[in-house]
Structures are given as structure tokens and as C-alpha cells.
């Protein structure tokens, strides 16, 4: 009998199937009450497949690298751009790459799961602090003074969060980028009252 | 032999002695390598006394309620005060009540311990998020619109952090309040570039 090398079966879209199954279970039963076994059952896949993509169920929510490289976008902004314009460019990229109409429903479901669980809220808050730190560094590397880098990055993260909430709440297929630009100007106005 | 009721010995300043012993050990050996036993030995007190004040060694760093009631100060600001002025009043109170010359050395040591440990940094970051949330609520209750409340509270927390770092770094006995006012105006200027 010839020896056959065991081939891992490649599942097209397995990651997405698992993510959808996990999110719907988190929303139905609560995050704490959902097991990996129930996720793979709902997805019609095996546990091995799950652990090929995620270390645990929390990674379904937080495992993916941010699809937007905010620091990279800030670095790539035109030399003459102000710190706030560089951050605005990163927000535009977020709209184009991450906050697309096709992903809106999944992102809204993910957010509702996080909002229902204090431990997940902490995790999300720490992730946002990491985002602010990486934008601060990217601005510093453009030669922006420390304090201005810190403040601008903080306002950028805040704008992203508020714009995201509005985008999720908006009826129909609102585009993210113009919404984010609008919020950025409101945030700036609020900072100067 | 007459029966003597065991009296808990009241230790004057036991809390402070334990805090000093803990902070110096954290700084010398690292937070992870310091045990409660070594803290009470250094303080010349008993374990029972330690656990009367703290649940664990982390509570030495984070257990005390913030000595400044930022939300209360914002609520108590004059009716005509702008949101930023209300936050500035809270910063003044921080200077008067918490960031006093007598506490400077202890606070600097505490900060150096936190800065050396990622887990403690996370804890501190989450505490700051709680502070921002309570200031946001206090501003809302003054009738300030949601977005302005969020932005102003965020700038307030940022100002507190930057002013604290400068206060610790400053030679001599710099007063906190004027330093914080100076940082607040720099933060505001940075937000409008």
C-alpha cells in the first residue's frame, strides 16, 4: 500500500464561515456561553480547522490584524500635509479598505458582541490605545513635535470610533470616508470651544 | 491568669509604611519578583495588617480611590464655565489635593514601577479610560453635547497625563496647577493646527 502524505484540506472561506458562525452564536447566547465546539458545529467544520485560524474564540473578534495600516498611511501622506491632514488620509484609507458596505453587517454584529461584555470592551480599549500609539509614532517620524503628535493621534482614534458608530447606525449604505471627515471637523471644533 | 481580649494593634500610618515598603521593593527587584511577605518584612509589620489595607500587591498601586473627584469638580464648576474651563477646574483640584510636593516622590516611584511593567501599564490605561468616561458623564450632566463632552474629557485626561509627567520631571518643587494650565493651552493649540 503506498504511503500517502496527509494533506490538510483547504477550506475555501473557512475563516469567514467560522467568523460568521461565531458572531451569530455570540450574539444569540452571549460570548461567555459560546464554546469552540458549538462554533465549528454551526459552521459545519472541524475543530482542527478552527485552530488553524484562531487560537481561541476571542481571536475571532481580535485576531485579525487591522486591515488598515494607519501608521503606514500617515507615513505616506504628502510631505506638506499637516498632522491632522495625515490622520485624515488614514481615515480615508480605513473607509476604502476596511469599512466597506460588504463588511458593514459583520462589523456591526462584532461591535454589538463587544459592547455586551466588559472584558471584551477592555480588550477593544487596549487595542485602540495601541492604534493611538502607532499613529503617534508615525507622526513623530514625520517631524511633528511630541505633544502635537500625541494630541492629533488621540483625536484621530476618537474620530475613528465616533465615525464608526455613526456609520453602523446610519440607514442604507453610507460611505465611511465622508462621514469620518465630517466627524473630524466636529471633533476639532469641539476641541476649540 | 486573666483572659485578655486580643486587640488589633492600630498601626499609625501602617498603610503608608506598607506602600513605601512595597514601592521600594518593586523598584529594586521588579514588581513580579516582590511578594507580600517581603513587603511586610520590609515594613516591619504583619501579613494581617497588609491584608487589612490591600487585597493583593497590585492594590498597593491601584487600590486607593483617586484622591481627586474629577466628576465632582466638573459638576461644581460655575454655571457659566465652558466645558474646557470646567475640566481646568478639575485639574486645579488635582494639583491642590493629589499632586502635592509631599506626595511627589512617592508618585514618581509608583509611576516608574508602572512604566516598567506592561501588565501594570494596561491597568493604568484602563483606569484612565474610566476617568475619561466619568468626566464625559459629568460634562453631559452640565448639558454639554455628547461629542463635545467626549472630546473635552479626552483632552482633559491627556492633559493630566502630560502635566503629571512634566511635574515629575521638573526640578525642584514646581506647582502642579499652573503646569497643568500651561499644558491644557498647548493641547488645545495642538488640536487646532
For the stretch A164-177, pLDDT in tens is 999 999 877 789 99
Is A154 within 8 Å of B151 when comparing Cβ atoms? Answer: no
| Among candidate residues B42, B3, B2, B1, the one with its CA nearest the CA of residue B19 | B42
Least confident of A5-9, A65-69, A137-141, B47-51: A5-9
pLDDT at residue B137, rounded to an integer: 97
Q: Is the pLDDT of residue B130 over 60?
A: yes
Highest mean pLDDT among A151-155, B69-73, B94-98, B104-108: A151-155
Please answer yes or no on whether B162 and A147 come within 8 Å at the CB atom.
Answer: yes
Which residues on B lie below 8 Å from A186 (Cβ)? Answer: 147
Report how far residue A137's alpha carbon sits from residue A150's, in angstroms, rounded to the nearest whole number: 9
Please count the other Cβ atoms lying within 10 Å of the Cβ belonging to residue A55. 10
B163 has a pLDDT exceeding 80: yes
Q: State pLDDT tens for residues A13-25.
A: 899 899 999 999 9
- Among partner residues A122, A126, A151, which is closest to B190 by beta-carbon distance? A151
CA dihedral in degrees (A63, A64, A65, A70; nearest 10)? -120
Give me the interface pTM, i.e. the ipTM. 0.83
- Bigger pLDDT: B148 or A6? B148
Residue to test with chain A: of B126, B151, B157, most A Cβ within 10 A: B151
Per-residue confidence at B94, pLDDT binned at 50, 70, 90?
confident
- Which stretch of A90-104, A124-138, A140-154 has the lowest confidence by average pLDDT? A90-104
Q: Are B155 and A151 within 8 A, CB to CB?
A: yes
Residue contact B186–A147, C-beta within 8 A: yes
Determine, for residues A191 and B192 on separate chains, whether the beta-carbon distance falls below 8 Å.
yes
Q: What are the φ/ψ torsions at residue B175 (nearest 5 degrees)?
A: -80, 140
Angle of the A176-191 helix axis to the B146-169 helix axis, nearest 10: 60
Average pLDDT of the residues in B147-172? 93
Nearest partner of A149 among A72, A70, A87, judged by Cα: A87
- Residue contact A188–B191, C-beta within 8 A: yes
Query: Which among A84, A150, A193 has the least Cβ separation from residue B82?
Result: A193
Contact (CB<8Å) B192/A188: yes
> Which secondary-structure segment (H or E) carries A158?
helix A146-169
Could you write out the DSSP letters of every residue in B161-183?
A: HHHHHHHHHSSS---HHHHHHHH
CB atoms within 10 A of CB B61: 22
Which percentage of chain A shows pLDDT scores above 90?
Answer: 75
Q: Rounded to an integer, what distance in angstroms lies between the CA atom of residue A34 and that of residue A55?
A: 15
Set of chain A residues whose Cβ sits within 8 Å of the Cβ of B183: 147
Residue A99: pLDDT over 70: yes
Angstroms from B88 CA to nearest CA on chain A: 13
CA distance B154 to A127: 17
A155: closest CA among B153, B184, B140, B130? B153
Measured between CA atoms, how close is B16 to chain A, in angstroms?
31
CA-nearest of B84, B50, B58, B101 to B158 is B84
Q: Which residues in chain A are contacts of B190 at CB distance < 8 A? A: 147-148, 150-152
Nearest to A147 by CA among B82, B114, B70, B155: B155
Query: Three cell numbers at B21?
Result: 515598603
Nearest to B150 by CA among A166, A161, A128: A161
CA distances from B108 to B23, B57, B177 (A): 10, 18, 17
The dihedral of CA A107, B124, B64, B15: what is its sign?
positive
First to last CA, chain A: 80
Residue B128 confidence (pLDDT) above 70: yes
In whole numbers, what is the pLDDT of chain A averaged over residues?
Answer: 90
Give yes or no for residue B143 having a pLDDT over 70: yes
Nearest to A148 among B82, B126, B190 (CB): B190
Q: Please, what is the average pLDDT of chain B?
A: 90
Confidence of residue B96 (pLDDT cuts 50, 70, 90): confident
**Domains of chain B as residue ranges with CATH:** 14-61 (1.10.10.60), 70-191 (1.10.357.10)
What integer pLDDT is reported at residue B134 of this predicted model?
A: 94
Tell me which chain A residues have a C-beta less than 8 angstroms from the C-beta of B186: 147
Q: How confident is the model at residue A40 (pLDDT cuts 50, 70, 90)?
A: very high
pLDDT value of position B3: 58
Cβ B152–A193 below 8 Å, yes or no?
yes
In total, chain B counts a number of residues equal to 193
Contact B190 A147 (CB under 8 A): yes
A4 confidence band (pLDDT: 50, 70, 90): low
Amino acid at each position: 500500500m503506498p504511503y500517502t502524505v496527509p494533506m490538510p484540506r483547504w477550506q475555501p472561506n473557512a475563516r469567514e464561515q467560522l467568523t460568521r458562525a461565531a458572531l451569530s452564536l455570540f450574539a444569540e447566547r452571549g460570548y461567555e456561553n459560546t464554546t469552540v465546539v458549538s462554533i465549528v458545529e454551526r459552521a459545519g467544520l472541524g475543530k482542527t480547522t478552527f485552530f488553524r485560524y484562531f487560537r481561541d474564540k476571542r481571536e475571532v473578534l481580535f485576531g485579525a490584524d487591522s486591515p488598515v495600516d494607519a501608521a503606514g498611511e500617515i507615513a505616506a501622506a504628502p510631505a506638506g500635509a499637516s498632522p491632522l491632514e495625515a490622520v485624515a488620509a488614514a481615515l480615508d484609507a480605513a473607509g476604502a479598505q476596511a469599512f466597506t458596505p460588504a463588511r458593514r453587517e459583520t462589523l456591526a454584529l462584532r461591535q454589538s458582541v463587544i459592547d455586551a461584555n466588559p472584558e471584551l470592551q477592555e480588550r477593544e480599549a487596549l487595542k485602540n490605545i495601541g492604534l493611538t500609539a502607532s499613529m503617534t509614532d508615525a507622526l513623530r517620524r514625520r517631524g511633528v513635535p511630541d505633544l502635537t503628535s500625541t494630541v492629533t493621534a488621540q483625536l484621530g482614534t476618537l474620530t475613528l470610533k465616533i465615525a464608526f458608530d455613526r456609520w453602523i447606525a446610519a440607514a442604507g449604505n453610507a460611505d465611511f470616508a465622508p462621514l469620518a471627515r465630517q466627524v473630524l471637523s466636529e471633533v476639532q471644533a469641539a476641541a476649540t470651544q
